[in-house]
Structure 1
Amino acid sequence: MAESSKEELVQLIKRFGAYLTVKMSNLFSISVQSLNSRSLGAVAGFAVAIIFTWRLLRSPSGPQRRLPKRQASTSSSSGITSHSNAALIPSGVSSNSEDTRAQNVVDQFFQPVKPTLGQIVRQKLSEGRKVTCRLLGVILEESSPEELQKQATVRSSVLEVLLEITKFCDLYLMERILDDESERKVLLALEDAGVFTSGGLVKDKVLFCSAENGRISFVRQLEPDWHIDTNPEIVFQLARFIKYQLHISPTRIERSASNVFSSPSLEQFFGSV
């Protein structure tokens, strides 16, 4: 009987070890650079989980008192009852119960820690430090220079991502315009949206040109780690010179190069919507 209990304990420890290994691999798949106080707390909880569970498994269940032998008359009836109860308990139920208990203990300490938007932005941009981005169709609701002659509207859904990018990236915004009034409308819309108040973006980093290919010249001169654009021709021409590009397109398209990614919107690329 004792030998059987030892074997069950060994099997439990092996199963627990395998389960713990999977949890460890999931926990440490997060980049070390992206750890913040919450992630460090998760690591601390992981250490506590190991100690707690180890003590739980090694703690003896306590010496069992041996029941005094009863009279022969009651022994036979007790034996019959024990045999009947044993026949009702399926084999492996005790082992499964112990497995579940150990798994629940670990799960309590391995609740998934949702990364912050800042962590996601840094991870998605591969720690890139300079980003160039066109305005129309990405930051602004408008999609053509002609529309900018009437109005300029910052997309509210992109603001949070845009501000996170400015926190650690040197961001340049650029667009083709038809007149000076369009430039004034764009700068005013960005200012009203609070883009310039975060300290990461200034008006001097909002660039304007009179031709579509002017953006190519801007990007080539700035040599960013990432360029974000909606024009497939510009993305194609810059693929040889820029480390990474993000092509914003409402329809799913095939990747034109291995360093070109695509998404329906900037905020969807970072999973903020």
Structure 2
Amino acid sequence: MGDNSKEDFLHLIKRVWEFLTVEFFNLLDRLDSRSIGAIAGLAFAVVFTWRVLRTPSGSQRRQPKRQAPTASSSSVGSEEISDRLLSGISNPSEDLKTQNVIDEFFQPVKPTLSQIVRQRLSEGRKVTCQLLDIILEESSPEQLQKNVLSALEEAGVFTSSGLVKDKVLFCSTENGRTSFVRQLEPDWHIDSNPDIITQLARFIKFQLHVSPVKLDRPPPNVFTATSLEQFFGCT
């Protein structure tokens, strides 16, 4: 690395370090735990790199001992260091470069769909959902049964997952769906029928009522959305 490149790199590291020193507590207000850990890692890397690059090659000369500063000289030295630090940070063009480097480093990572679903469902592991009119658009239970079996067969669940095709159960009545849900005891149930939602409110931890019309007095464990996409923030 040439002398000019080395000086520019050291100068950039110095600017980033000064910025982190002055703005550290402001950054904490808008960063999550992962970003705070990244700050610590970046700070360690900056200090380590700076020390390595600023160490001159060859043997170092022994520096003469300095006398311990008096109280007055120590105070003056602190003021001088503070003035130099503030004067260095006040350069608008260099501040902009430093800010761009930090903004690029701490650019938020967009969560995946699975992460969004787990977060919205409060890490629920078992979910039951009314398929007709919520996920699938078949016009009758018979069409729904045929398409669901075909989809499961194409996905290979009857061969690789040990699911028996003849034991897949369907229901065509609301009472049957309510009974299914109570026996399965899911963490979440998703349904468009307000009566089923109301009946299951005592037995299911959380429910999602998919409907453009909200319940008059929904229980505290019942959420309402116009669609699954709207509930998971995908619209």
TM-score (norm 1): 0.53
- For the Cα contact (< 8 Å) 1:49–1:105, is it kept in 2? no
1:27 is matched with: 32
Q: % of aligned pairs identical?
A: 52
1:112 to 83, 108, 112: 108
1:162-209 deviation per Cα after TM superposition (whole angstroms, max 9, x unaligned):
xxxxxxxxxxxxxxxxxxxxx4x2434433663847967945785323
For structure 2, list consecutive stretches of 5 or more residues without a partner in the other structure.
1-17, 52-86
Deviations 1:210-251 (A, max 9, x none): 4311111111111111111111110111111100111112x1
Q: How far 1:116 sits from its partner (Å)?
A: 1.8
1:263 CA displacement: 2.2
Verify: 1:138 aligned to 2:166, yes or no: no
Do structure 1's residue 259 and structure 2's residue 231 form an aligned pair? Answer: no
| Per-residue Cα deviation, 1:90-136 (whole angstroms, up to 9, x for no partner) | xx896162544443332122111112222222222212121111121
* Amino acid paired to 1:50: A
Name the counterpart of 2:90. 95
8 Å Cα contact 1:246-1:260 kept in structure 2: yes
Mapped partners of 1:269, 1:22: distance in 2: 28
Match of 2:189 among 227, 235, 238: 227
C-alpha RMSD of matched pairs (Å) = 3.9
Among candidates 150, 155, 161, match of residue 194 of structure 1: 155
For 1:17, give the aligned amino acid.
F
How far residue 50 of structure 1 moved from its aligned partner, in angstroms, is: 2.5
Does 2:24 match 1:17?
Answer: yes
CA-to-aligned-CA distance 1:12-69 (integer Å, 9 cap, x gap): 666411233134xx332x7xxxxxxxxxxx77754443235668999xxxxxxxxxxx
Residue 182 (structure 2) pairs with residue 216 (structure 1): no
AA at the equivalent of 1:120: I
Q: 1:199 to 1:127 in 2, by over 3 A?
A: farther
Tell me the amino acid that sits aligned with residue 134 of structure 2. V
Aligned to 1:77: none
1:155 maps to which residue?
none
Structure 1 residue 245 corresponds to structure 2 residue 207: yes
| Cα distance, 1:19–1:103 mapped onto 2, change above 3 Å | farther
- Residues 189 and 208 of structure 2 are in contact (CA less than 8 Å); yes or no, is this contact kept in structure 1? yes
Q: Tell me the number of residue pairs that the alignment of Structure 1 and Structure 2 aligns.
A: 183
Q: 2:43 pairs with 25, 46, 50, which one?
A: 50
C-alpha distance in 2 between matches for 1:271 and 1:200: 31
Give the corresponding residue for 2:60: none
Structure 1, unpaired ranges of 5+: 1-10, 31-41, 59-91, 153-182
1:166 is matched with none
User: Equivalent residue of 1:50, what SS?
Assistant: helix
Q: What SS class does the counterpart of residue 208 from structure 1 fall into? A: coil
Separation in structure 2 between the aligned mates of residue 198 and residue 46 of structure 1, nearest angstrom: 48
TM-score by length of 2: 0.60
Confirm or deny: 8 A CA contact 1:228 1:248 kept in the other structure: yes
